[in-house]
Amino acid sequence: MIDTLTLLAFVPAAIALNLTPGADMMFCLGQGLRAGPRAAVAASAGISAGGMVHVTLAGLGLGAAVAALPWLFDAIRWAGVGYLLWLAWQALRHPPQAGAAPPVRPARAFRDGIVVNLTNPKVILFVLAFLPQFIDPARGSVLAQFLLLGAVMAVGGFFINGAVGLFAGGLGRRLTASPAVSRGLGYACSAIFTALALRLALIQRT
């Protein structure tokens, strides 16, 4: 379906993009600090799942609607800003506590990862700009090629973002023995989510 040389060129490019610090990595970092390793890995899985939804939409041609309709782009963007600010508020209200149940269950962290990814319209614009460079309509289904390339990016992103979240989760669990540090971690997580919201609020369509 996809030429072997094309795939060999795509894989290192996808890994390099996954290694570049961005909103997804910072979100997993924040979830790890706030709720521990399991929530961080679940959040990474949710982000990868959301990425596959973006890839599917792009493959179906629906992503062009986001690129062409400014109001749709802005509606999705501001929904994402609101959700991230809500997460920031939750991080302030429920900072990590030593010996307590994590404030974010893995299932909820997975959902948050999906929502944060899906409400970032810049992701689908990136998919529309990047993946078509490696797709050849003459080699079969365009959607199937989108899905295969998207799966490569999703798997790479899951492991890389998950590793960042695991590190942050282990660090956070060691630091929460001190109530003062625990509150500080709550502020740090809230700051991360707030910064992501501001970043999303300030992005432009081009």
Between these two residues, 113 and 130, which has the higher pLDDT value? 113
Token pair, residue 146, equals 């989108």
pLDDT of 11-51, one tens digit each? 888 888 888 778 888 889 888 888 888 889 999 999 999 99
Q: Which sign, positive or negative, has the C-alpha torsion 90, 96, 102, 108?
A: positive
Instruction: Give, as one character, the DSSP assignment of residue 103.
Output: S
Mean pLDDT of the chain: 80
Question: Among the listed ranges 57-61, 66-70, 104-108, 197-201, which one has the minimum average pLDDT value?
Answer: 66-70
Token pair, residue 50, equals 């959301």
Q: What count of Cα atoms within 13 Å lies in the side-chain half-sphere of residue 69?
A: 11
Under a CB-based contact definition with an 8 Å cutoff, are residues 96 and 186 in contact? Answer: yes
Q: What span, in angstroms and rounded, lies between the C-alpha atoms of 126 and 137?
A: 19
**Sole residue written with tokens 């690129």:** 67
